[in-house]
Structure 1
């Protein structure tokens, strides 16, 4: 669903890093962590449409991570160590684990391992985007379509010359949004783009007629 919106970490500022991984590697790993966005993504502005000079609560969410290993035991730095300025936009593994939730047994996402004396301190900003612009903003891990030819039952052999009249969609979310919300968000975005195209085309036709 390339038109569905989702905030992802796009800017990472590494303030301290004495780990075995270089700064770009850590930034890349943080940028791939899916964030919850069901309830707030539609209220966020795109950074290109925002009037702020850099970052603001209207177009971005700030994350901080400050971890230092003080013991002889290896310290695992995970998505749980990413602290969000907005409690509604957090790593998918950090959401409230309600009883009976499908995320009860989900492990936090490993970012880096620290030995005694090593530390990592990061300030990061998540912005809204969609997968057509960059793949790290996609919300789905599996997307498939299948059609059923006209006047045939679902178990019939595939007929390449048949006319499809029914489509089956299989959407598996990475956890940032519910599958149904991903589909509705993508359809709304596509509808908006088509409406803008129709409006622009009408203006051009009117302009040509006046000339």
Structure 2
């Protein structure tokens, strides 16, 4: 923009910004839109977590964060990080398949270990499908690791998680110790940045 408005070549503008003004280029971050109500709920949740950690500095060690993500079978290439060095341009290209097959993946994460990945056979995750995964895959592993009943299970507010049978099951398995929508510990909506799977793991794997 500066080059266009001043008529100065891009290269010159970049040189001035970097060498004379000692500025650096930063990428724009795309974040979740939050309403005023969202911000209030997020603040309340964070303050609640803060007080829990004050009372027990190892509280977060007991939290199992969980989430699902969709992966395209054809994969994704980050062209910004993919460079081929040589004396000539090899003109390498990669074919992209439109509407390629995809798979839904579940994973849970604690301080100590990763639970998963679990690959759903179904193309759509319903509440019943999600509940089956909890009962057959995740909970048996958590039971082995949590003999004293200290684990706090977290899930976001996705529709499959809100199914009555799912919430009843979690109330039975984690009485007063699960985090989510309509849970004993309410999970704030529009908050992917508060779970390590969303703000780190999925992006790291897909990049």
Instruction: Classify the TM-score, shorter chain.
Output: under 0.3
Higher relative contact order (CA 8 A, sep 6+): 1
Counting strand residues as a fraction of each chain, which structure ranks higher?
1
Q: Identify, as 1 or 2, the structure richer in helix.
A: 2
Q: TM-score, with normalisation over the residues of structure 2?
A: 0.21
User: TM-score normalised to the size of structure 1?
Assistant: 0.21
